[in-house]
Every structure is written in structure tokens, then in C-alpha cells.
Structure 1
Amino acid sequence: MIGFIHKHKQSITFSAGFLLALALAFHFTGHYDLRQLTLIAATVIAGIPITIKAFQALLMKAFSIEMLVTIAVIGALFIGEYVESAVVTFLFLFGDYLEARTLEKTRSSLKNLVDMAPQEATIIRDGVNVTVPVEEVVEGDRVIIRTGGKVPVDGKIVTGHASLNEAAITGESVPASKKLGDQVFSSTVIDTGYLEIIAEKVGDDTTFAKIIELVEEAQESKSKTEKFLNKFANIYTPAVVVLSVLVYALTRDLHLSITFLVIACPGALIIGAPVSSVAGIGNGAKNGVLVKGGEVMDRFAKVDTLVFDKTGTLTKGKPEVTDIKVFHSHEEQDLLRLAAQSETASEHHLGQTIVKEAKSRNMALEQVPEAVEVIKGNGLTAAVEGYVLAIGNRKLMKAENIPIPPAAESYAVNREKAGNTAIFAAVDGEIAGIFSIADQIREDAAEALAQMRKNGVRKIVMLTGDNQHTAELVATKLGLDEFHAELLPEDKVAFVNQLKQQGHVVAMAGDGVNDAPAIATADIGLAMGEGGTDVSMETADVVLMADKLMQFSHAYSLSKATIRNMKQNTFFAVGIVAVLLAGVLMGSVHLASGMFIHEASVLIVILNAMRLMSFNRKKVQREKDLAPVHV
């Protein structure tokens, strides 16, 4: 019975509306008895789902809005106010219907995401091309995607090249060029080209599936405002019943007390905050920003201090070897080969840059390094081809008791002043050479930071493990308030804690792996990683899928807009209830008209929240394109 009513709630609503219209026709034709019977029928039909919901809430020891309406409708029937009982029940159901339809629109970004998921995949099995449901693709399958097709799984390209629209993942519609060895993600679309990939992540493990899961969880989570309003409603609702009884006791006017009971329903108050949160999180998902819930949005809006890692955050994270300086009798090619073979044991981006340089020179890195010791934040030591190597910064050389000759130190300082990171390489306890590595400041960094300052950020700090000279160069070019160089991960954590103790609300942005401790320590942890690595998506509060600082600016302004929208809805809901109750007590607001205004107020707060769905950062017109800056 309950299931049937829930399933046909829309039909019940419009049936009640039809009966109301019929009653109006009977009124104008003078059939008053038929009018009264039709109004009672409309009340009963529309009142059944409301009463059932009220009863279900009572079973859960909750005093719901439906309970207030049910009491009021029974009272109206008792005193013979059939018009008002019918209108109130119909308006309540119709308002519920409109709310549901409107809320569906606020969740449209999630629905759109789900609709983007591919249903089929073409794979090669036993030398034959076979089209199968995407659920049947397994890791290791060779998958074919042609022009116009959706990538069904996460994987690596083994054949072909193509231009891909990655909007489903990054929120950016500008096509990305992909070639042999590049990573591609589920639900991205090939604009032009042909690809064959090896499936690495399938089903619920794909990046796209995790995005949907995170957005679903975020939209279900509650902000502090929502939690407070829910607690408030649990106290407010029974208090309204007590007050309506008090009104009757003082006035002996049952109609007035029933009207008071209905008009005081806190519908708009309860719905206002959640719908703002859902719409804000949905907007973020549409623009490639994953905000993990209403509470995160609430904290993010209060951030006044931004802390950035340098490499991969303020810079592109795609460093290149710009120079190799050798000392003594060492040869450049030999030193590069030894250093690259040692760095194959490291996951650090600078070490991988040296490996990449060796591979670009077609060097065979066959020797597996032995006795590898990675010193976090400083470098590593290893044994390769019978040599003992130490590769890293000055702190590593000092820790290994390896003296740096004046000529090498002077060269390193000059390279650092020019914007390079100097990596020392020692062979058998003697400095053998210095690798100069340079990165580029992100083109959107200056604009994004300027926008965030405009939106309320008071302090921007950079914390980096890089050298003092390179850090100063980046900080100066971006106009940062502070920078601190040559830091270990634990130093970054200590600095973030220090800022929090000073009363700052801190957001820390990093790559989600090396900066994980500091990201976890900050009030808001933000990870930048194209495609969203597993670590970044799990540890951070906010994930930027397109790996762009302008998305950070959008996320920050969106959080402020969302919380502002929540406050607007709360103040409006409270104000409407106060005005209506005053009108009831003064005799100028009646049950049906009050209910109409009440339902209209619910729709207004929902429509106000829906504005967040189209919220977007203002496109600042640049006088000229920002050229890449080497650092």
C-alpha cells in the first residue's frame, strides 16, 4: 500500500488538483453539496500520502512537517473548513512535487556524469575484434577506440594517436593530444584519431567511476549549517505544536491555532541549506573540481591563507635537464647513464627527469641499482656498475661527508640564480657533476592568485624543498607574501601547524603524494593531479582534475558563493515564517493563502540555490597571452 502510494504520488497530486477544479465548477453552478463532497474527497486523497509520511516519521521518533499538516487538516475538517483542508493538502503535495523536480535539476551534473559512462567496448580477443559490455572488459585486454568513440577504461596507449575531449574528467573541453605511451581515462571521447590501449583500470576502479562515487558521497554529506538546522527543526517543530495550543488557549479560536500550526512549518528553512550544498558541489563536478562535501565547502569558504608547494603546483611539474656540468675526468654521457640508472629506483620528479633525459639520448638503462637508500627530501645513494653514487642536494652531500669544491659551488649558485635546480652527483665520494633542471611557472598562476586575493585570501606562502635562489625567483615573479626553501616534508607540516596556531584558516595545495602530510594537516587539503591519482583523490578535501590553478580559484569563489547562498536561503526562510506568523496573529493571513505563500517560499529558496549551477569564475580578459616563464 505504502509502495503503491509513493509510486503514484504524482498521479494522486494531480487527481486532487482535478477534484479542486471540479469543486470550483460545482460552486459556480450552485451545487454546494457536491462541492463539499468533492472537497472532502480531495482532502482525503491528497491527505493519505501526507498522513502516511507523518506516521513513518513518528515511528522513527521524529516530529515532521507532515505531522503538523496532518493535525491542521484534521482540525480543519473538524470545524468544517473543507476548502482550506483541500487546498492545504493539494498545495503541500504539489509543492513537494515541484521541489522534487527542481532538486533533480540541481543534481543534473551528477546525472550528466553518469550518462557519460560508456556502455560497450571493442576489444581484441584471440585475434578477433569483439564488442562486449563494458563490465566484461578485464585488466590486460587490448581495447580499440575509433573517432567519435568513448574510452571505456583507464589504460595506456600502445598503438595510434588521437585528439581527446577530456571534459568528463577535467571539465576542460579543449581537446588534448595523446600519443604512444600516454595515459587515457574512461569516458573521454576521441574527436579524431585511432587508439589501441591496454586496460589497466576497469569497472569501479576507473578514475571516472571514482569521480561519480566522490560526487555522490559529497552531495549526501552535510555542512555544519545543515546539521544545525536539522537539530533546530527537531526542537522547533514540536515547539510549534505547543505554541499553537497556547494560541488556542488564549484566543479560543481553533481556526487561528490551526492556521498558526501550518504556517509555522519550517519547510524552506530545512530545504534551503542542503539544496545550496548539492548545487554547489554539482557545479564543481561539472567544472572538474571535486569538493568532498558540504562541511569541506564550509571550511573552504573561511580560508584566508594559501600554502603552495612549488614543483607541480605553482610550476607545471614537467622539469627538463637544461645542462650537465662534469668535473675532473668524468664524461657527461657516462655520468648521465650512472645517475639515470640510480634514479630508476626513485619516484621523485627530479630523479625521473634525469631518467627521461637519458632515455631521450637512447641510453639503455639495464643495470639495476643496488643498496639504494632514498633520503626523503634530499636525494638518494646507490651502487651501480661497481660505483657508489650520491645524487641530491647540498644537505645530502653534507650528510654523506662529500665536500663540494668552490668551483662546483660557484657554478651551482649561478645556475640557481638563473632559475635552475642544481642536483649534485657524486661518484665514490667525490663530486663528479651537477645536473641543472628547470621547470616553468604555470601560465595561469599569476591570474589565479590575483583572483583569490580579490576573493578574500590575505596571505599566500610557498613551501618547497628546492633551493633558495630558485624559490626566490618564483616567489618574486608571482608576488607571494612568503617563501621558505630547502624544506623537508616534516618542515612543511610544522609550518602549516604554526599558521593554524596563529589563527589562520589554511588551505594547502600540493601533488597529493610528496605533500600528503602537509595536505592532511591543513584545514583544507587540495591536490593537483591531472586525471586524479588514487592518492590525491583519497587524501585531499578538494581535487582539481584538470591540474590548473584557475580551477583552484573557481573552487574557492564557488565555496564562498555556496555558503553565501545558504545564508540567503536561511535568512529568507526565517523572515517569511516570521512575517506569515505575524500576519496570522493579526488576522490578515489565512490557512490557504498562508500555505500558498509557504510553498512558494520553499520554491524560491530552491530556485535561488539553482543559480549556483550556472555559477562560473569571471573570465578576466588578458591584454596579451602569458608566455611560459622558466624557473
Structure 2
Amino acid sequence: MKCRIIHESSLRIRFKIEKPLITIQQADILLYYLEEKSYVKQAVVYERTNDVVVFFKNGQKDAVISAISKFDLNSDSLTDNASQNSGRLITRQFQEKFVGNITLAVARQLFLPLPLRILYTVLKSTGYIIKGIKSLINGKLEVEVLDAISIGVSVIRRDFSTAGSIMFLLGLGSLLEEWTHKKSINDLARTMSLNIDKVWLKTDGADVLVPVSSIKSKDLIVVNMGNVIPFDGIVYSGEAMVNQASLTGESVPVAKREGAYIYAGTVIEEGELIISVDAEAGSGRYDRIVKMIEESEKLKSDTEDRASNLADKLVPYSLLGTAFTYLLTRNIQKTLSVLMVDFSCALKFSIPLAVLSAMKEAGRYKATVKGGKYLEAIAYADTIVFDKTGTLTHACPTVEKVIACAGQNERQMIKIAACLEEHFPHSVANAVVAYAKKLNISHREMHSHVEYVVAHGIASTIKEEKVIIGSYHFVFEDEHTEIAPEDSEIIENLNPQYSHLFLAIAGKLVAVIYISDPLRDEAAEVIAELKRLGIKKTVMITGDNIKTAEAAAKKAGVDEFYAGVLPEDKAAFIEKERNSGKTVIMVGDGINDSPALSAASCGIAIGNGAAIAKEISDITITAESLNELITLKKIANRLIDRINSNYRFIMSFNTALILFGTSGILSPTSSALLHNISTLGISVKSMTDLI
């Protein structure tokens, strides 16, 4: 792409694209392309002026320039991944409607004769009056009733100017509300879209890990237990229990067999499927997420419900106040001034918008929040429970060493271990795969069906011999693996500083893998800060041995720790805490953390963990830093503060408008104008950043 630099600094550069004005779609694709670069902190594309502004990491200017020069505006290779439902398109459409409405209003006032303006006002008023009547017929006293009465009374009094002004202001207010809501939903939906880079492609020879972008319709892909399904498609073979909660709201997994239709974004809880791809990446996925956001009860926090209920309850009081004002003053103008002000509009709009905006802001900090009630849970939480491996400990544990047993070859044992572990993404599994890669050990598929045993390990078959890899409990106590006499000393002298994986073939121990799993540098600081922000109790629960767990707990500074814990025990602990009246956050990353994540008041999954953990969780954060927990807590705390502030402002300001109206200081049109401005103002404020 041809462009020139028009301004630059040490961490910011501005380009001018040298071609005719780019389209909205091209601007979105370019923005997606730039934001995918690890060295780009933020990018802004101005399609009206052909300008591109890029904020980048220190010393990466040349990389930014190179990336811009290599980009092809006419390429469609990124279209599937870039959003096809652009927030920028929504804004453009709103701007056109807004300017169009104002232009038409001015044109009617300047060029239409008075009789035609009156006829237009009367005809338009019927729509508002019909809405009010329908609301009454349905037994509801809502804002539409107040609008219908105020417009109807003005028309009956032949005060067409007031009626026209009221409808004009209501129209602009409705348009602004629609735009802010759609924009918030759109921005949030894009943060919740799937983020899958590679999938297993079924070929004649073996399963091959390939980029998502290379998958075409009718390709066969393999999805194992605990993984997210990346495409819509039809089950070609296999049987599995699929969690569809993210799209359908079903809490119970659904059985899927040959011929069943499967949806992108759902997760396999048990079993394995081979899927014939029906729709390539991107098609229909965004729209389903938007629908889920708009319809799911997960969006509704208790605070939002209270605001909605209070808004409905206040409408009858507004009508009573109107009648009381007329009886006292017999002044239609003062009476209409009361009708022009209602509390419900601002309450019903600003509170949900504040929640949506908070969720969107969390998304900018790489935290995906699935519902407003989970931010509320974080705000009121007094207990937080952490898994250890991959959560409190470093996001990228490493293999320290591998000890071959029973006369086996060390490189061959590493090859087998990596071959099994690559099917089940978890921080420890990733460490084994990375270690094989580091040693340039190719681990081409050599096994049959792979089975993941939750909280224990993996089982498969190679050359008709059973192969298992996992914890001490799984390999020795459950599977009764034998240890060669000459290797007994290896087991007796295991270093408790490390975690251990044990590999067995045909019932005999063949390797011990030492995993170095250091505590995250920021862990102790994050736990201390969470306590300052309102968390009263911190707990670490792990399946590791007690010595390893004790060392990690002491360094992290948690109040309590529990070692050798099974998945069901984690969930039971959380349920016990909740039954005692605690609001509990659970943070984890593995398949074995899923029951606990589901049982918590708010489950937070680490982004590079198992797909099922991310699916079941209520919030997902990246694996980069636990400091995102502090950010989430701050956003949640300040969201509650903002909601309370909105309550106070709406009640006091609208009460003042009513008093000014009844005293004759404000006309009905002025009351309507100030009411709409205040509603818009509190809504815009609700959309601003919390931190």
C-alpha cells in the first residue's frame, strides 16, 4: 500500500494513504491487520481523510512502516476475521439520519405553508398517540402514555408548535438512544468473537494442525474434548456432549452424533467429533453473538433489574403529579411541563448503558465479560480462589529435564509425550510440546484415539500398547504402573521444587518429566492489591503435592491453601463458601477447574487455558498478567459507584424540572428539551471510561 509519513514521534506515527478515499470495509480490515501486530499498542484509521495513526512499542517504528507498506487494501485474505458489522458503519448511518432529521425539520419550517405544517404535525402525532393507547390496552403505564398525553393535549389545544417541538425532540432522543445502544452492543460483540488460530485437519495420512484461514467448506476437522468448535458444520463421525450455553443458553450439554448440526463457539465437554465444515470462519458467528448479548439474561445485573422496575413504578406517579398540578393550577402549560419530564427514560437507558460500557472497557483491557451481573459479583466479592498451575504460577511453565526409565531413549520418550499432550491445550501440556520443539524433535501422529482423564492425565494406544501420561495418582494409584527396581531411586528422590509428569507404556514407567512452574512475578502484589480493593479472603487450591503447594502459597501471600484437591473438591469448597454467605470469585485455566468455575459467583478463566474452562467461565482474561484482575476489580467497583451516582442525578435533576415547570419558570418545550439533554448527557457520561 502506498502511503507517506506526515508526522512521527518516538512512539506514534501518522500516515496518509495515497489513493482515492478508502471504503469503510477497507478501513476496518486495515485496522484489524494493524491491531493483530504484537508491536502495535493502538491504531486508528480515518476513512474520511485517508489517515492512519499507529501507536507502537518502543523501537518498533521500522516494523510498523514495513507492515503498512506490505498491506494490500484490495486483498480479501483478512475479510473473514475482520468484523463485517462495523461500529464505524453504525456511526455513519446514525450521522446521516441525525443530519437528515434536522435538515428536514428546518426545511419544513422554512418552505412548507402553515396549513401543511399543521397537517404534518397532526398526522405524525397519531403514531405517538396510538403507541400510548396500545400501552394502556396492554395494561401498562409506560413512558409512551406520558408522551401520547402531552402531544395529544397540545394538538387538541391547537398548540401545534409545542406538539411539533416535542415530537422533534423525542425523535432525536430516540435516535441517539438507538445509536448508543447499538454501538455499545456492536463493540462488545466484537470483543466476544472467537479467537482461534489453528485447528486439526483430517487428512488421509494423519491429523494435521493447520491455520484456521486455510480451512474450506467440506473440509473435515477433528475437535477433541475440552476444545472449542471453530466452525458451523455437520458431524461426520464420532459422538460427544456439547456445551451450547454461549449461543442457546442451555445449561445442560447436548448429545451430538453423526449427521447432527454443530455451531461455532460451542465446546465439547466429553468425546470427540470429526466435523464436515459447513460455513467458513466468520459467517453468521457475529450475528449470533449479538443476538445472545441482546437476549441473554446474563446481561441483566440485579442493579439493572432494580432500575427497570423502579422506572416502571414511577410512571403512575408522574401521571398523578400531572393530574394534581392541573387540579391545583388549572394551567395547561404547567401541567404539560410535568408530563414532559419522566424518570423512567433516563433510568431504563443510562443504567444498562453504563453496564455495557463497563463490559466494553474491560474488553479493551483484554477481559471478555459475558454479562453485567458478573461485574456486579466482582464488585461485591469478598473471597477469591485461585488454581495454582498456569494461574498463580507462570503462564508458561517449562520442562526442566526428562529422565528416561526402563532403559528407554530420552528423545523417544519426549516425542511420545509431546505427541499426546499437543491435543489438550493446558499450560503444562504446552510446556511439553514446546520442549520437544526446542530440541527439534518431530512428533508426527503415531497413536490411536486420545482420551483425556480429567484431573489425572491422558491415555492412548501405540502399536497396541496402552500409553498413559499424567499425575502420580493417575499413573501409579489408578493405573497401578510398575517401576523397574533400578528406577525406584528416581521416584524416591523426586525434587518437590518441581511438578512432575509420569509417562508409562504397557503398564511400566518409562519417563519422569520435571516441570518448572515458577510463581508469576506479579502474583503477590496482585493478591495484596485485591485485598486493598475489598477482597477479604484469598485461597489457593491445587492438585499438586503439599510441599510444592505450601511453597507457592507462602510466596503468593494467600490466606489459605489446599493441596491434592480433585475437581469435585474444588467445586465443593466454593459451594460451601457461597452457602455461608460469601460472594466467591474462582480463577483457573484447566479442564479440571471447570466445575469450580461454574460453581463460583463469578468464574474467571485464563485465556491460554482449556476451551471448556473459557466456555463455562463468566469472564476470560489473557494469560499475560494477573494485573488484569486488579483492572477488573477497579472497573467493577467504579461501575457500582457510577450507577449510584446516576440514580442520584436522575432523581434530583428531574425533580427540579418538575418544580420549575409547575412554578411556571419552564415551558413544556423547555422542560422536554432539558429532560432530553439530561438523558443524553447522563447516557454519554455512562459511556465514558471508568479507569
TM-score by length of 1: 0.68
For residues 488-519 of structure 1, give each alpha carbon's deviation from its aligned partner in whole angstroms, at most 9, with x where no partner exists: 11111111112212322111121252211111
Q: Matched residue of 2:513: which SS?
A: strand
Q: Is the Cα contact below 8 Å between 2:502 and 2:513 reproduced in 1?
A: yes
Q: Matched residue of 1:457: which SS?
A: coil
Q: CA deviation at 1:611?
A: 0.6
**Greater shift after overlay, 378-387 or 436-445?**
378-387
Q: Matched residue of 2:565: which SS?
A: coil
1:454-465 residue pairs with structure 2 within 5 A?
A: 454-465=532-543
Q: Matched residue of 1:266: which SS?
A: helix
Aligned position for 1:411: 493
Match of 2:586 among 483, 487, 508: 508
Change (3 A) 1:98 1:299: same
Aligned position for 2:334: 256
Aligned residue identity for 2:627: M
Q: How many corresponding residue pairs? A: 522
Match of 1:598 among 675, 682, 690: 675
For residues 45-91 of structure 1, give each alpha carbon's deviation from its aligned partner in whole angstroms, at most 9, with x where no partner exists: 66355335435545655433232122112223334544433332332
Q: Is the Cα contact below 8 Å between 1:219 and 1:277 reproduced in 2?
A: no
Q: CA deviation at 1:246?
A: 3.5
Change (3 A) 1:203 1:610: farther
For residues 449-493 of structure 1, give each alpha carbon's deviation from its aligned partner in whole angstroms, at most 9, with x where no partner exists: 444334322322211111222222322332222221111111111
Aligned residue identity for 1:138: S
Q: CA deviation at 1:592?
A: 2.0
Aligned position for 1:611: 688
1-side partners of 2:278 and 2:529: how far apart?
Answer: 38
Aligned residue identity for 1:44: V
Aligned position for 1:544: 621
Q: Matched residue of 1:514: which SS?
A: helix
Aligned position for 1:475: 553
For residues 421-455 of structure 1, give each alpha carbon's deviation from its aligned partner in whole angstroms, at most 9, with x where no partner exists: 13456788887764322124345544544443343
Change (3 A) 1:451 1:105: farther
Percent identity between the two aligned chains: 25
TM-score by length of 2: 0.63
Aligned position for 2:293: 218
Q: Is the Cα contact below 8 Å between 1:12 and 1:45 reproduced in 2?
A: no
Q: Matched residue of 1:437: which SS?
A: strand
Runs of 5+ consecutive residues of structure 2 not aligned to the other structure: 1-95, 196-212, 222-229, 232-263, 265-274
Change (3 A) 1:487 1:369: farther
2-side partners of 1:342 and 1:76: how far apart?
Answer: 78
Aligned position for 2:654: 577
CA RMSD, Structure 1 to Structure 2 (Å)? 4.7
2-side partners of 1:476 and 1:15: how far apart?
Answer: 70
Q: Matched residue of 2:340: which SS?
A: helix
Match of 2:163 among 80, 85, 96: 85
Change (3 A) 1:368 1:77: closer
Aligned position for 1:553: 630
Aligned position for 1:95: 173
**Greater shift after overlay, 314-323 or 337-346?**
337-346
Change (3 A) 1:601 1:489: same
Q: Is the Cα contact below 8 Å between 2:385 and 2:586 reproduced in 1?
A: yes
Aligned position for 1:28: none
For residues 10-65 of structure 1, give each alpha carbon's deviation from its aligned partner in whole angstroms, at most 9, with x where no partner exists: 75554345556789xxxxxxxxxx87x68746743663553354355456554332
Q: CA deviation at 1:377?
A: 3.1
The structure with the larger Rg is 1
Q: Matched residue of 2:312: which SS?
A: helix
1:119-130 residue pairs with structure 2 within 5 A?
A: none
2-side partners of 1:347 and 1:290: how far apart?
Answer: 22
Change (3 A) 1:358 1:216: same
1-side partners of 2:416 and 2:661: how far apart?
Answer: 83
Aligned residue identity for 1:514: N
Q: Is the Cα contact below 8 Å between 1:279 and 1:610 reproduced in 2?
A: yes
Change (3 A) 1:373 1:528: closer
Q: Matched residue of 1:238: which SS?
A: helix
Aligned position for 1:66: 144
Match of 1:564 among 641, 666, 670: 641
Q: Is the Cα contact below 8 Å between 1:16 and 1:46 reproduced in 2?
A: no
2-side partners of 1:346 and 1:444: how far apart?
Answer: 30
Q: Is the Cα contact below 8 Å between 1:290 and 1:545 reproduced in 2?
A: no
Change (3 A) 1:114 1:253: same
Change (3 A) 1:368 1:140: closer
2-side partners of 1:212 and 1:580: how far apart?
Answer: 41
Aligned residue identity for 1:15: L
1-side partners of 2:558 and 2:283: how far apart?
Answer: 35
2-side partners of 1:388 and 1:340: how far apart?
Answer: 13
Where relative contact order (Cα < 8 A, 6+ residues apart) is larger, the structure is 1
2-side partners of 1:553 and 1:211: how far apart?
Answer: 29
Q: CA deviation at 1:593?
A: 2.0
1-side partners of 2:181 and 2:436: how far apart?
Answer: 55
Q: Is the Cα contact below 8 Å between 1:506 and 1:524 reproduced in 2?
A: yes
Aligned residue identity for 1:269: L
Q: Matched residue of 2:688: which SS?
A: helix
Q: Matched residue of 2:514: which SS?
A: strand
Q: Is the Cα contact below 8 Å between 1:17 and 1:90 reproduced in 2?
A: no
Match of 1:333 among 407, 410, 425: 410
Change (3 A) 1:81 1:306: same
Q: Matched residue of 1:441: which SS?
A: coil
2-side partners of 1:595 and 1:480: how far apart?
Answer: 55
2-side partners of 1:210 and 1:310: how far apart?
Answer: 34
2-side partners of 1:52 and 1:13: how far apart?
Answer: 24
Q: CA deviation at 1:101?
A: 4.2
Q: CA deviation at 1:116?
A: 13
Change (3 A) 1:87 1:425: closer
- In terms of fraction of residues, the more helix-rich structure is 1
Match of 1:15 among 90, 96, 104: 104
1-side partners of 2:343 and 2:126: how far apart?
Answer: 19
1-side partners of 2:686 and 2:498: how far apart?
Answer: 48
Q: CA deviation at 1:599?
A: 0.9
Change (3 A) 1:608 1:493: same
1:41-190 residue pairs with structure 2 within 5 A?
A: 43-44=121-122, 47-55=125-133, 57=135, 61-107=139-185, 109-110=187-188, 137-138=216-217, 140=219
**Greater shift after overlay, 559-568 or 400-409?**
400-409
Match of 2:398 among 320, 324, 328: 320
Q: Is the Cα contact below 8 Å between 1:394 and 1:424 reproduced in 2?
A: yes
Aligned position for 2:514: 436
Q: Matched residue of 1:435: which SS?
A: strand
2-side partners of 1:386 and 1:39: how far apart?
Answer: 88
Aligned residue identity for 1:575: S
1-side partners of 2:682 and 2:659: how far apart?
Answer: 21
Aligned position for 1:191: none
Aligned position for 2:39: none
Runs of 5+ consecutive residues of structure 1 not aligned to the other structure: 1-6, 24-33, 118-133, 143-152, 155-185, 187-199, 617-631
Q: CA deviation at 1:541?
A: 0.9
Aligned position for 2:500: 422
Q: Matched residue of 2:308: which SS?
A: helix
